[in-house]
């Protein structure tokens, strides 16, 4: 059987020209098949390994109680809550944990001196195409910057920030309007008030800058909030006040070139309950110009000017 297989693939003395061509084609097809199988196996192996690794981290996060570290001799940053001690032992870049109900989003959040390192490094600092969600390098904690920004990959096997896309559906928003993002210094809940699409490499002045970590004035902050709400796919009843802190989750999307899908929330205030009120689909959200070129439709106009 093996001899017959080899003779059907490799050229032997006496083969006609047609047989030689057929065998070359068959051999190339066989090599392509083997390489494809290896690539597919590698992809699923990485997917399963990454999911398993993050699941173990999530289990560890959910089983530790919170006690603040205030002892000066402690190896942990002053004020760090104890549920992050074991994670700090693994990776000193740990900054918190983000979790969204009814999604796979349940991950540690790290921070580095730039916004590139953790694009292809996992929590254990190993090379990994999934990366790990990371806080913008310009963000500060304890006290928090006015806008904490977390980036994560959109992986097609539903891992990392892929399931943020569910917020395109107002009905999903109604099931999961609250984000949990605990920093290493405290536990916080956040009410989602906007979900929008923007782009990062538009020609002209069409790129909407949403990655502000702070604002120069109250007027600039409230103008920014107004611009965000004009772009939101979902119209929510969640209000935003001048002294509120924001949380921004950002991931890639692929309907248009250089697209970003952004979910923005504000911190639940002291003494406030978790009720977010009603929400409806926005009939006319403001999209980037390129979105209309690809999908059609007319760009909405507004009575007052908005910053870009």
> Which tokens belong to 226?
């107004």
The residues, any chain, with a CB within 8 Å of residue 76's CB and separated by 6 or more, are 69, 84, 85, 88
Dihedral angle, C-alpha 116, 201, 192, 220, nearest 10 °: 100
C-alpha to C-alpha distance for 140 and 133, rounded to whole angstroms: 16
Contact call for residues 251 and 264 (beta carbons, < 8 A): no
Burial of 162 (0-12, 13-18, 19+ CB in 10 A): buried
Topology at the third CATH level for domain 69-295: Sortase; Chain: A; (2.40.260)
Contact call for residues 112 and 128 (beta carbons, < 8 A): no
Phi, psi of 211 (to 5 degrees): -95, 45
The residues, any chain, with a CB within 8 Å of residue 215's CB and separated by 6 or more, are 146, 147, 221, 224
Place of tokens 């390098």: 137
C-alpha to C-alpha distance for 263 and 197, rounded to whole angstroms: 9
Per domain, the residue ranges of the chain are 1-63, 69-295
Where b means 16+ CB within 10 Å and e means fewer, 251-276 reads bbbeebeebbbbbbbbbbeeeeeeeb
Write out the chain's pLDDT in tens, 308 residues. Answer: 555 555 555 555 666 666 656 666 666 666 656 655 555 555 556 666 666 666 777 676 665 556 555 544 578 999 999 999 999 999 999 999 999 999 999 999 999 999 999 999 999 999 999 999 999 999 999 999 999 999 999 998 889 999 999 999 999 999 999 999 999 999 999 999 999 999 987 665 678 999 999 999 999 999 999 999 999 999 999 999 999 999 999 999 988 888 999 999 999 999 999 999 999 999 999 999 889 988 999 999 887 544 43
C-alpha to C-alpha distance for 99 and 104, rounded to whole angstroms: 8
Q: What is the pTM of this model?
A: 0.80
Query: How far out from the chain centre does Cα 234 lie?
Result: 19
Q: What is the CA radius of gyration of the chain?
A: 25
């Amino acid at each position: 059987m093996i001899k017959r297989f080899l003779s059907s693939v490799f050229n032997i003395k006496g083969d006609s020209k047609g047989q030689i061509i057929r065998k070359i084609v068959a051999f190339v097809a066989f090599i392509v098949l083997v390489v494809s199988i290896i690539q597919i196996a590698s992809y699923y192996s990485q997917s399963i390994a990454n999911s398993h690794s993050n699941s173990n981290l999530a289990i560890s996060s959910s089983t530790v109680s919170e006690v603040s570290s205030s002892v000066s001799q402690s190896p942990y940053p002053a004020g760090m809550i104890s549920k992050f001690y074991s994670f700090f032992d693994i990776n000193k870049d740990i900054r918190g944990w983000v979790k969204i109900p009814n999604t796979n989003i349940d991950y540690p959040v790290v921070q580095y001196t730039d916004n590139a390192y953790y694009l292809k490094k996992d929590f254990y600092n190993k090379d990994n195409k999934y990366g790990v969600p990371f806080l913008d390098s310009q963000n500060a904690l304890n006290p928090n910057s006015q806008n904490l920004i977390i980036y994560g990959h959109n992986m097609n096997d539903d891992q990392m920030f892929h399931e943020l896309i569910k917020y395109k559906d107002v009905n999903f928003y109604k099931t999961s309007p609250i984000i949990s993002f605990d920093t290493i210094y405290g536990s916080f809940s956040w009410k989602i008030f906007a979900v929008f699409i923007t782009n990062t490499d538009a020609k002209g002045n069409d790129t909407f800058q949403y990655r502000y970590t702070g604002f120069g004035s109250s007027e600039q902050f409230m103008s920014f909030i107004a611009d965000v709400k004009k772009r939101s796919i979902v119209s929510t009843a969640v209000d935003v006040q001048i002294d509120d802190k924001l949380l921004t989750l950002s991931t890639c999307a692929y309907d248009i070139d250089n697209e970003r899908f952004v979910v923005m929330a504000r911190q639940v205030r002291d003494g406030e309950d978790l009720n977010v009120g009603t929400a409806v689909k926005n009939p006319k959200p403001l999209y980037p110009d390129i979105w209309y070129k690809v999908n059609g439709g007319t760009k909405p106009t507004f009575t007052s000017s908005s910053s870009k």
